[in-house]
Amino acid sequence: MFSSNEVINSICIGLLTLALVVFAILIILCLVRAIIGPEVSDRIVATNMMGTMVMAVIAILTVFLGEGYLADICLIYAMISFLAVVVLTKVYTGVYLEKKEEEKDGR
C-alpha cells in the first residue's frame, strides 16, 4: 500500500513535469513569433516573453531538483533579460526616430 507522502510526491512530480512540458511548448511558440513577427516591437515582446518563461522554468527546476543555487541563477537571468530588453527597446526607438526624421526631411 502507498503512503500518503508517496502519493503526494508522485502527484507533485507529475505536475512539475507537466508544467515544464507546457513551458517548453510556449517557449517554442514565442520563438516562432520572434522569427516571423511582422514588426520589430513584436519580436522584442516575444523575446521578453521567452526570457520570462525561461525564468519560470528555472524556478520550477529549483523546486523539482531541490537545488537552491538555481534560484540565484534565476535572479541573475532576470536581471540580464531585463537589461537586454531595455537595450533592444532603446536601439529600436533610436532607429524609429531616425527613420521618422528622414521621412520628415525628405518630404
- Three-state SS at 97: helix
Q: In terms of pTM, does the model score above 0.85?
A: no
Give me the pLDDT at residue 92, please: 87
What's the CA gap between 43 and 56, in Å, rounded? 20
Give me the pLDDT at residue 37, please: 83
What's the CA gap between 92 and 41, in Å, rounded? 8
Give me the pLDDT at residue 41, please: 86
Q: Nearest 5°: phi and psi at 3? A: -85, 165
* pLDDT tens track, the chain, 107 positions: 567 888 898 999 999 999 999 999 999 999 999 999 888 889 999 999 999 999 999 999 999 999 999 999 999 999 999 999 999 889 888 888 888 888 888 76
Largest CA distance in the chain: 82
